[in-house]
Amino acid sequence: MIFERKGKVLVGEWKRPNEKISKGQEILLKSLAKQENFVVLIVQGDTDGEMVVNKFWRVKDDKCNLQGESAEELKDFMNQWYEWADDSQI
């Protein structure tokens, strides 16, 4: 998934449980996460039918930090991201 708001970008890479991130994806996501106006998430779950989120992490400083463990928490995170992006002066 990818969202843009006033020059701010939210990128989410979805993976099913036990699905690995390739080395190329890892390099790309870490690179994007270093950009000033980018927020990068890795979401464990799927969107087949309904959205299922087991866990999600934010990629920052070459690390993955757990941010939540449900679809509701992901929605809350995304709402906070939109608030941050709306505060932008771009």
The predicted model scores a pTM of 0.91
Alpha helices in the chain (DSSP H): 23-33, 71-86
The total domain count for the chain is 1
Q: For the segment 54-75, what is each residue's pLDDT rounded down to a tens digit? A: 999 999 999 999 999 999 999 9
Q: For the segment 5-22, what is each residue's pLDDT rounded down to a tens digit? A: 999 999 999 999 999 999
Quote the domain boundaries for residue 38. 2-86
Give residue for tokens 């939210």.
10
In contact, 84 and 16? CB cutoff 8 Å: no
Sheet holding 8-15, edge to edge: 2-5, 8-15, 38-46, 52-60, 63-68
| Type of residue at 76 | D
CA distances in angstroms from 42 to 52, 79, 86, 90, listed in the order given = 13, 17, 23, 27
